[in-house]
A and B are shown apart, each in its own frame.
Chain A
Amino acid sequence: MSPTVLICDDAIFMRTMLGDILTQAGFTIVGEAETGLEAVQKYRELKPDLVTMDIVMPDMGGIDAVREIIKEDPNARILMCSAMGQQALVIEAIQAGARDFVVKPFQPSRVLEAVQRVLS
């Protein structure tokens, strides 16, 4: 059975792109979220193997979403998606429990490497 992924990003473009990279590599996208709040709810519902989490999202930001998810499931495997220049935020997310990060613009090979590390 291929690993399941929940993609959290407020931009459709980013969700589509990430989805394509991951689907081609054999992952199953089980859900998408546009806000942090939605990410927390969908995680509860879907229990995916992997979450990709954008840092800046409306309602609840990605970092708070990580905190909420880790609170409920300390073993959650979350990959942060950040833009350049967000180093401090990425570190905050790691402190909150995220396992790794990728930086936009996404390079498929880098994304897949990071996903492997998160799942290993």
Chain B
Amino acid sequence: MDRARYGELFLAEAREHLAAVNDALLHLEREPSAREPVVALFRAMHTLKGMAAAMGFDAVASLAHEAENLLERIRRGERAVDAGLIDLLLRAADALEDGVERSVAGEEVSAPAELLEDLRAWAAPSAGPAGAGKTTKAKARRSPRGDDQPTTPPGAGRWWVEAEFDPASPLPGARAFLLLRQARTLGSVRDLDPPEDQLTQEGLGRRVRFRLDTAMPADQIRPVLASVGDVVRLEIRPADEALGVASGPDPLRVEALRARTVRVDVRALDALVDQVGELVLARDRLRQLTATRGDPEFEEVAHRLDRLVSDLQDQTLRLRAVPVATVFDRFPRLVREAARALGKQVRFEIEGRDIELDRSLLDELADPLVHLLRNAVDHGVEPPEERVARGKPPMATVVLRAARERSQAVIQVRDDGRGIQRERVRARAVELGLMSPEEAAALTPAELYALLLRPGFSTAERVTDVSGRGVGLDVVATRLRALGGTLEIDSREGEGTTFTLRLPLTLAILPALLVRIGADVYLLPVVHVLEALEHDPQTVAFVGGRPMVAVRDAWLPLVDGRALLGVDGNGANASARSLVILESGEQRLGLLVDDVLGQREVVVKSFDATVDTLRLFAGATILSRGEPALILDAGAVLAAPVRRST
């Protein structure tokens, strides 16, 4: 087995199975009597075992084997599911994850002996579920699965048997059952695929496969098994020869999937997206040139190329889209553990797990979401006693929701906890010298919550293991802005808090409005632009010392782009300026610019916006003429009116 060649593939697939294991365990914890998670767990463990054995990762294989034995007993209804059992299996999942990663990294891995003992003890016939977790002395070698009897005589042959039934054969599951009965007259049957309890399902494949340990030679096995009837193909191979292949997933399913999907290295996909991004830029340049040529033939080709590139861009980006579940599904575990560590009771719900988002965007979001979820459990949710005292159910609810709204991805983290205590935020703002008590009292809730996003502004009184110290929300907000998104907070005291993350659907290409401020060109993400108007200085008024502009019936805060960026007007005529209305969530404002140059799609280049003076920018891009331009961060611009007092 060429480990280097298969390592990456093994790792990718093993991770998928481990994610399924975690998911199924949490499902089982919610519904201890549910069957599907047990079956899913069994299958995942079984496949992992086969894959690890094929790679020669014995520690992982033996761990998966013990877990599989225990699951088999649960599946047969011989072991009840309780909290102790879930904990044990979660421990096994962790150890497997660790073992998989380290084995692939080339480390020498041994299965934790205590864990193996515990798994065996729980699978042992006499061990009752209660207290079995502690019986590490139990010496059960293997679970007595009904399948394994009668015990195999020493020196017996081990065979892989694969049978295929006639397509005209009715009820192939029942036929498979007859085959099994015949096989059991010869010896012991194990590793049955599909599992025995699934044979009753209609619409199952026509193939069945199992391992047969028997003293009989192959030529005597064949007639006994073939006597079952309707068997069109019967393969009997020595078990050692076929182990790697035969213990893999269902061959029928794999064949079907192989026809429709291919595995692609994510790096190759990223490179493709980048290339397409460059192509989009080249197309834009061509579009401009075409407009100046006035050559109809040239125009026709350019127009066609334009459409092709647009389609290509669309499809390429879709290639990278994955369901949010790929990232979200590890959160239930995290919330569960955070809640347990803090002695809180939390029910965690995920909404919109099938929503598809750009993979790179999702990857970037994972950390901020971890932060927000921990924050919700730690600071949002009250301890059960406090909740009861407030007339709430002791079990709190935290919801993670994903949705697509127009060209934005919207992700919310919502809790029904104590909410943000506004007075404490005000007090903190004054304490930090950010503003006078009068100014603090005049802040709207939205402005107040915006303060929470400033570095070092945590009001948490305690420092806990779970959410760390005060470096929280500001880090999340900065990260989001770097992604071209925004973070909004909505909260009601005593009722809960909702964090809303809004992001462009993809990171790579951003539709932007080109504006000139002073001598330079800047870009504004189109998702945040409501409209662009000619500016009329007559519509400006000062309200409470702040400039406001009247747009139709509404008064919006006004920010002068020149003042914001600290550039001068280059002698431009103040009356010929334009007004761009920006919007994010509930907030709106008018941004005064010197010129609106048009709309364009740009490729966002990564940009490290940690330095304070760069806070206003979400990224950079190269314009079609090769000049660099900065992308203005709409969230930061919208926060500017609050910023003024610092």
Interface set of A (CB-CB < 8 Å, partner B): 82, 84-88, 90-91, 94-95, 100-101, 103, 113-114, 117, 120
Inter-chain contact B174/A120, CB cutoff 8 Å: no
- Ranked nearest first, the 4 interchain pairs of A and B with the lowest CB-CB distance are A103-B170, A90-B174, A88-B200, A87-B171
Inter-chain contact B202/A94, CB cutoff 8 Å: no
Q: Which of B170, B177, B228 contacts A91 (CB 8 A)?
A: B177
B227 interface contact, C-beta 8 A? yes
Scan B191-203; emit 1 where CB is below 8 A from any A CB, else 0.
Answer: 0000000011110
Interface size for B (C-beta < 8 A) is 14
Inter-chain contacts of B200 with A (CB < 8 A): 87-88, 91
Shortest C-beta distance, A50 to chain B (Å), equals 16
Inter-chain contacts of B365 with A (CB < 8 A): none
Interface centre among B170, B177, B202, B227 (most CB of A within 10 A): B170
B585 interface contact, C-beta 8 A? no
Inter-chain contacts of B170 with A (CB < 8 A): 84, 103
Inter-chain contact A101/B171, CB cutoff 8 Å: yes
Rounded to whole angstroms, the CA-CA distance of A90 and B171 in the bound complex is: 9
Shortest C-beta distance, B131 to chain A (Å), equals 34
Inter-chain contact B229/A100, CB cutoff 8 Å: yes
For chain B, residues 166 to 203, give those with C-beta under 8 angstroms from any C-beta of chain A.
Answer: 170-171, 173-174, 177-178, 181, 199-202
Chain B, residue nearest A116 (CB): B229
Chain A, residue nearest B229 (CB): A117
- What are 25 A-B pairs with beta-carbon distances under 8 A? A82-B171, A87-B171, A87-B173, A87-B200, A87-B201, A87-B202, A88-B200, A90-B171, A90-B174, A90-B177, A91-B173, A91-B199, A91-B200, A94-B174, A94-B177, A94-B178, A94-B181, A95-B177, A100-B229, A101-B174, A103-B170, A103-B171, A113-B229, A117-B227, A117-B229
Inter-chain contacts of B178 with A (CB < 8 A): 94, 100
Rounded to whole angstroms, the CA-CA distance of A76 and B228 in the bound complex is: 18
Chain A, residue nearest B181 (CB): A94
Inter-chain contacts of B173 with A (CB < 8 A): 87, 91
Inter-chain contacts of A84 with B (CB < 8 A): 170-171
Rounded to whole angstroms, the CA-CA distance of A85 and B171 in the bound complex is: 8
Rounded to whole angstroms, the CA-CA distance of A101 and B173 in the bound complex is: 12
Inter-chain contacts of B228 with A (CB < 8 A): 117
Scan B387-421; emit 1 where CB is below 8 A from any A CB, else 0.
Answer: 00000000000000000000000000000000000
Inter-chain contacts of A101 with B (CB < 8 A): 171, 174
Rounded to whole angstroms, the CA-CA distance of A13 and B174 in the bound complex is: 25
Inter-chain contacts of B177 with A (CB < 8 A): 90-91, 94-95
Inter-chain contacts of A117 with B (CB < 8 A): 227-229
Rounded to whole angstroms, the CA-CA distance of A120 and B178 in the bound complex is: 15
Shortest C-beta distance, A110 to chain B (Å), equals 9
Inter-chain contacts of A90 with B (CB < 8 A): 171, 174, 177
Inter-chain contacts of A87 with B (CB < 8 A): 171, 173-174, 200-202
Shortest C-beta distance, A89 to chain B (Å), equals 9
Rounded to whole angstroms, the CA-CA distance of A85 and B178 in the bound complex is: 17
Interface centre among A91, A95, A103 (most CB of B within 10 A): A91
Inter-chain contacts of B174 with A (CB < 8 A): 87, 90-91, 94, 101
Rounded to whole angstroms, the CA-CA distance of A82 and B181 in the bound complex is: 19
Chain A, residue nearest B180 (CB): A94
Rounded to whole angstroms, the CA-CA distance of A29 and B227 in the bound complex is: 25
Rounded to whole angstroms, the CA-CA distance of A88 and B229 in the bound complex is: 19
Shortest C-beta distance, B460 to chain A (Å), equals 57
Inter-chain contacts of B227 with A (CB < 8 A): 117, 120
Chain A, residue nearest B204 (CB): A87
Rounded to whole angstroms, the CA-CA distance of A103 and B229 in the bound complex is: 14
A87-B173, A87-B202, A94-B181 are known contacts; what are 15 more A-B pairs with Cβ within 8 Å?
Answer: A87-B171, A90-B174, A91-B173, A91-B199, A91-B200, A94-B174, A94-B178, A100-B178, A100-B229, A101-B171, A101-B174, A103-B171, A114-B229, A117-B227, A117-B228
For chain B, residues 56 to 115, give those with C-beta under 8 angstroms from any C-beta of chain A.
Answer: none
Rounded to whole angstroms, the CA-CA distance of A100 and B177 in the bound complex is: 10
Rounded to whole angstroms, the CA-CA distance of A114 and B169 in the bound complex is: 12
Rounded to whole angstroms, the CA-CA distance of A114 and B178 in the bound complex is: 12
Inter-chain contacts of A113 with B (CB < 8 A): 229
Inter-chain contacts of B171 with A (CB < 8 A): 82, 84, 86-87, 90, 101, 103
Shortest C-beta distance, A78 to chain B (Å), equals 13
Shortest C-beta distance, B93 to chain A (Å), equals 32
Inter-chain contacts of A114 with B (CB < 8 A): 229
